[in-house]
Amino acid sequence: MSICRFCREWAPSTELLHYSVRSYAHHRCWLEAGKDITKLSDYRISQFPAFALKDFGLLEVAEAAAAREQERRRQFAAQRKANLFQQIPYCEEPADE
């Protein structure tokens, strides 16, 4: 449980936006406080409820952030797969002495 920085109501941490170190807020409270959504990471923006974004006219920003986040995850998975195959040792016959 954490407390919203703006409305001072308690809520589970999973329902709040974690926007800074030990700073939580309801998504709607954060937007109503006039905070700039573009300063958040793409992952944090993708966690916003669509209805709150729609009310503030930020759906396009969220869609662009979701696309960037999806592309980042795709590149990360491809890089991880490439690294995995590089780490598999090639089996060679032992040399006779």
30 part of a folded domain: yes
* 22 beta partners: none
- What domain range is 1 assigned to? 1-35
Radius of gyration of the chain measured on its C-alpha atoms: 21
**pLDDT at 86 exceeding the cut of 70:** no
Distance CA(70)–CA(77), nearest Å, equals 11
What's the domain count of the chain?
Answer: 2
Residue 73, domain member (yes or no): yes
* 21 lies in the same domain as 47: no
pLDDT of residue 43: 86
**What pLDDT shows up at residue 38?**
86
In this structure, are 58 and 75 located in the same domain? yes
Contact assessment for residue 48 and residue 35, using Cβ atoms and an 8 Å cutoff: no
Residues with Cβ within 8 Å of residue 5, at least 6 apart in sequence: 23, 24, 25, 29
Q: What CA–CA distance (Å, rounded) separates 70 from 1?
A: 29
The per-residue pLDDT for 4 is 94
pTM over 0.85: no
Higher pLDDT, 74 or 94: 74
Within a domain: 6: yes
Whether residues 44 and 74 share a domain: the answer is yes
pLDDT single digits (tens) 45-59: 888 888 888 999 999
